[in-house]
């Protein structure tokens, strides 16, 4: 098809940071915008109330409600697709039921992209306490046999603003490259999204960020003219009365 006849459709993608950290939301927005096509508009959002960081099952339970609230607001704004920018993919299936457009979690996006460019990959995250959460996701997404190892920089999410973070992540990536035999490295936290490009160049190994991976997957799904199936268990939630704090989801 001649280039003059190709039409680029504007896609409006909402990137949801499920925690309340404005600084992490800014990191996420920059990473998403850096890879988005010219015809894609990125809206990075986060809840005004909720939890400041997500580092366990309790945190994810709170974050799920925040994700659903942001999905509703996105639907009202006419958003075409959504990204859940937390490596635990909190509330992913519930969000897919609730949303009109496709919803992608950054952990599943990063794992899928890693599997397309390498036979084995390693994951670097923040704290060891999240390892079992990540293992559960690897099992659910079908990548448990392709993940060589999980590693942690032993820093909480809100410490990722520190200038020393890059060096810590770089040193751990170097160790992973030398010892794991992995073909790719996945960064297991949205707060590390701004590090992947530089680390890839320095290390000579693909370092994958889930935020940018999810943007490209949502763009691809939208470009294909399809969305989450509403036939089966991801059909819209059954209409029923919702009361109290949850009434906002009506």
What structural domains does the chain harbor? 3-105+213-249 (3.40.50.12500), 107-209 (3.40.50.12500)
Structure-derived torsion over alpha carbons of residues 189, 194, 200, 201, reported in degrees to the nearest 10: -160
Task: Quickly tell me which residue has 């339970």 as its tokens.
Answer: 61
pLDDT tens by residue, 167-199: 999 999 999 999 999 999 999 999 999 999 999
CB-based contacts of 227: which residues, under 8 Å, 6+ apart?
Answer: 81, 100, 101, 102, 221
Instruction: Check if the beta carbon of residue 176 is closer than 8 Å to that of residue 122.
Output: yes
Helix (H, G, I), strand (E, B), or coil: what is residue 84?
strand
pTM of the model: 0.95
Q: What is the pLDDT of residue 9?
A: 72
What are the angstrom distances between the C-alpha of 163 and each of 127, 146, 159, 195, 200? 18, 32, 9, 12, 19
Q: What are phi and psi of 115, to 5 degrees?
A: -70, -20
Task: Answer positive or negative: Cα dihedral of 32, 117, 109, 61.
Answer: negative
CA 234, distance to chain mean position in Å, is 20
Where the chain has pLDDT below 70, the residues are 1-8
Task: Answer positive or negative: Cα dihedral of 229, 44, 75, 92.
Answer: positive
Q: What is the pLDDT of residue 2?
A: 45
Q: What is the pLDDT of residue 8?
A: 52
% of the chain with per-residue pLDDT over 70: 97
Q: What is the pLDDT of residue 4?
A: 42
CB-based contacts of 165: which residues, under 8 Å, 6+ apart?
Answer: 153, 155, 159, 192, 195
């Amino acid at each position: 098809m001649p280039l003059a006849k190709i039409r680029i459709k504007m896609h409006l993608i909402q990137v949801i940071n499920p925690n309340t950290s404005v600084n992490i939301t800014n990191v996420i927005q920059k990473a998403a915008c850096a890879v988005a096509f010219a015809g894609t508009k990125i809206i990075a959002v986060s809840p005004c109330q909720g939890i400041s960081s997500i580092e366990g099952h309790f945190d994810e339970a709170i974050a799920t409600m925040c994700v659903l609230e942001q999905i509703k607001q996105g639907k009202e704004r006419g958003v075409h697709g959504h990204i859940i920018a937390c490596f635990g993919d909190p509330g992913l299936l519930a969000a897919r039921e609730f949303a009109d457009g496709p919803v992608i979690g950054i952990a599943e996006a990063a794992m899928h992209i890693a599997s397309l460019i390498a036979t084995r990959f390693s994951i670097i995250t923040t704290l060891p306490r999240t390892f079992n959460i990540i293992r559960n996701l690897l099992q659910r997404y079908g990548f448990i046999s392709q993940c060589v190892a999980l590693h942690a920089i032993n820093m909480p999410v809100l410490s990722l603003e520190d200038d020393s973070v890059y060096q810590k992540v770089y040193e751990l990536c170097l160790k992973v490259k030398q010892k794991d035999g992995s073909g790719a490295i996945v960064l297991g936290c949205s707060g590390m999204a701004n590090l992947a490009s530089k680390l890839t160049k320095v290390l000579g190994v693909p370092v994958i960020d889930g935020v940018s991976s999810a943007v490209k997957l949502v763009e691809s799904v939208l470009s294909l003219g399809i969305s989450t199936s509403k036939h089966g268990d991801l059909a819209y939630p059954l209409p029923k009365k919702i009361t109290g704090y949850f009434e906002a989801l009506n």
